[in-house]
Amino acid sequence: MLNSELGFQKDVAYELLENPRYNWRQFLLRLVAQAIRVVEFLTSEEREKVFVIDDSDYDRSRSKSVELLAKIFDHNSRKYLKGFKLLTLGWSDGATFLPLDFVLRSSANVANRIQGIIKALDKRTCGYKRRQEAMVKTTDLLEGMIKRAMALGISADYILMDSWFCFAGLISKLAVHVPVICMVKDLTSNFYLYQGHLVRLGELYRRIKKRPGKAKIIASVIVPMRNGQKVKIVFVRNRNGRGWLAVLSTNTTLPDEEILRIYGKRWDIEVFFKMAKHHLNLEREVQLRDYDGLVAHTSLVFSRYIFLALKQRFHDDPRSIGSLFHACCSEIQDLTLVEALHRVLTLALDAVRQSGEFAESVVMAMIDAIMGAALSMIKSLQKNLTATA
């Protein structure tokens, strides 16, 4: 907006951002759906794709008049600050993370809202609907976010969540659409049925049989939650301190190691939050007080990240060069051990001929002996493999 060569001024840009009739959610979802199609072309069908759900602080501590500004609890500092909670749904194949949808949450508690709705809006507009959405509890928003993504053909094998979202009702609700893997905490509201008794997570850990020694995976157990949802819980050692951590999966057939490996893909969303805040200026780029403007600006920051993620994938993934990559793969597959040995020996023969220190007949006898021994060894290996099969 400070560029004098642009054909519009700052006020025009702000009017665009603050318009409540633009559907930024559909813009972002349709954009990322196209990006995912490109990434999936470069990804093996056997590789797990995941939805990742998490929230992060949107800090506006120096603000007073921002629409729907609220007091939010920061879990890192254990203090309240002014701002919003950025609830985000993302998609990842383990190599590329793409943000799908978000809700810039105020607070469901009226007492924690510093500002209310300032604009007088038509109830049919996107701006009005997003303001109402901002005052809903997090657990009531997640299923709608998953449904919107799936309606556009975006699919995933698992939903990954942190322990803040580990509630029995929410897990069962989401597992209807996609299996859930999440971190578990010893909450007073979560109970598991074990040997006829409802027990909390800590008591469940004390009762189950542990693996001997100092194994990374201490134990695992399949139990129903209090609402009947059957889950598998894997207990692992906490490498950052004493004690243990627990990871829950609604897919009880997954091996313990696979549950932990897949859950590791959740870290991609933490990298995304850091990139959006520190490098894409999510919190500092604009001084908007209008809620529509904040939603629009956040959508544009997410869009920038999508293009950067695609650029990085094209740079790092050799499959993005298309047919040339597959041609190279075919050449490597067609080159057998015997052919490779023949090429090496041919180069060695040329070098010996140039030196003139050995007679031609001696060199050829040496090469015939080496090739004969190599062929005999290969044939014996083939016989052994056939006998074993």
Question: What's the pLDDT tens digit per position in 111-155?
Answer: 999 999 999 999 999 999 999 999 999 999 999 999 999 999 999
Q: Are the C-beta atoms of residues 118 and 79 closer than 8 Å to each other?
A: no
Residue percentage of the chain with pLDDT more than 70: 86
- Name the residue among 128, 79, 83, 125 with its Cα closest to residue 104: 83
What is the rounded CA–CA span in Å between residue 66 and residue 154? 34
**Confidence class of residue 372 from pLDDT cuts 50, 70 and 90?**
confident
Beta-strand runs (E) in 39-173: 50-59, 70-74, 79-92, 97-105, 158-161
On the question of pLDDT at 312 being above 70, the answer is: yes
Question: Residue 332: what pLDDT?
Answer: 45
Q: Are the C-beta atoms of residues 31 and 303 closer than 8 Å to each other?
A: yes
Question: Residue 381: what pLDDT?
Answer: 66
Q: What stretch of H or E contains 181?
A: strand 180-184
On the question of pLDDT at 331 being above 60, the answer is: no
**Confidence class of residue 45 from pLDDT cuts 50, 70 and 90?**
confident
Domains of the chain, residue spans: 10-323, 335-388
Q: Looking at residues 239-264, what average pLDDT do you find?
A: 91
Alpha helices in 2-141 (DSSP H): 10-17, 24-41, 126-134
Question: Residue 241: what pLDDT?
Answer: 72
Query: 10 Å Cβ neighbour count for 218?
Result: 17
pLDDT per residue as tens digits for the range 52-91 = 999 999 999 888 899 999 999 887 778 889 999 999 999 9
What is the rounded CA–CA span in Å between residue 248 and residue 232? 6
Question: Residue 43: what pLDDT?
Answer: 81
Within 8 A by CB and 6+ apart from 129, the residues are 123
Please state the φ and ψ torsions of residue 18, each to the nearest 5 degrees.
-90, 5
What is the rounded CA–CA span in Å between residue 26 and residue 129? 13
pLDDT per residue as tens digits for the range 258-294 = 999 999 999 999 999 999 999 999 988 888 899 999 9
- Name the residue among 242, 196, 244, 197 with its Cα closest to residue 219: 244
Alpha helices in 183-316 (DSSP H): 201-207, 256-263, 267-278, 291-316
Question: Residue 71: what pLDDT?
Answer: 93
**3-state DSSP of 96-118:** CEEEEEEEEECCCCHHHECCCCC
Architecture of domain 10-323: Alpha-Beta Complex (3.90)
